[in-house]
Amino acid sequence: MHTVYNLEVKIRDKMNRIKKTSHVGVYLTLEEIEVAKSKVLADNPNVTFEVYPCEHILFEQQSN
């Protein structure tokens, strides 16, 4: 099994209430998540993120 990271974005209003939650993507490394977060923040700076580590048999570890 291999760990992957599920990134979700939470769009907030001016009163900091969550208005919408969207799936951004599944990434292999935390560095990839930081790149994706910066792209989302460029479009909408009023968001927060949730990262969920996932282990599943379908996600095979890549050999180096």
- Determine the pLDDT at residue 50: 95
Provide the residue type at 57 as one letter.
I
SS3 50: strand
- Determine the pLDDT at residue 42: 93
- Determine the pLDDT at residue 38: 94
Give the mean model confidence (pLDDT) for residues 25-53. Answer: 92
Give the mean model confidence (pLDDT) for residues 38-60. Answer: 85
SS3 41: helix
